[in-house]
Amino acid sequence: MIMSLSKWNELPSLDLYLDQVLLYVNQETETFLSKNEKPLTASMINNYVKNGFLPKPEKKKYGRIQLARLIVLSICKTVFSISDIAQMIDVHYKDRNSQLLYDTFVDCLEGKSQPNTPELISKACQTILVYKEAMELIEQLREEK
């Protein structure tokens, strides 16, 4: 299965309602999640907003910044705690913009890292990809039985 994510400029330019966000993010991340992993839910989004991991929606709508962060959270939560992911994001927001960080993360996950990819993003992507490989091996072994 091809693992591909939309880059920042390919994310919807119009703000989305919660049900649209769930559909979009779950479609984007499905190739990165194993069969055992729970897709994004409305409760998860509400908890992320409540705990400050995700900016609040404006007039019940979510924009690119929230979509990008939800994609990153959905993929990373399989390996890292939500608070650790939020810390990783916050460390990099101090000197980089959302678009650059998100596109760097997408490139890294797709094996297109650049020499200037921050080490933290590179290591997180490596961890996610190794975890995904391990889960795929487990699935193959189950199917062979």
Over the range 63-100, which residues count as b (16 or more CB within 10 Å of their CB) and which as e?
A: bbbbbbbbbbbbbbbbebebeebbebbeebeeeeebee
Mean pLDDT, rounded, for 93-112: 84
DSSP annotation of 17 reads E
Taking only the tens place, the pLDDT of each residue in 10-69 is 999 999 999 999 999 999 999 888 777 889 999 999 999 999 889 999 999 999 999 999
Task: For residues 35 and 82, give the distance between their C-alpha atoms in angstroms, rounded to a whole number.
Answer: 20
Residue 1 in this model has a pLDDT that exceeds 80: no
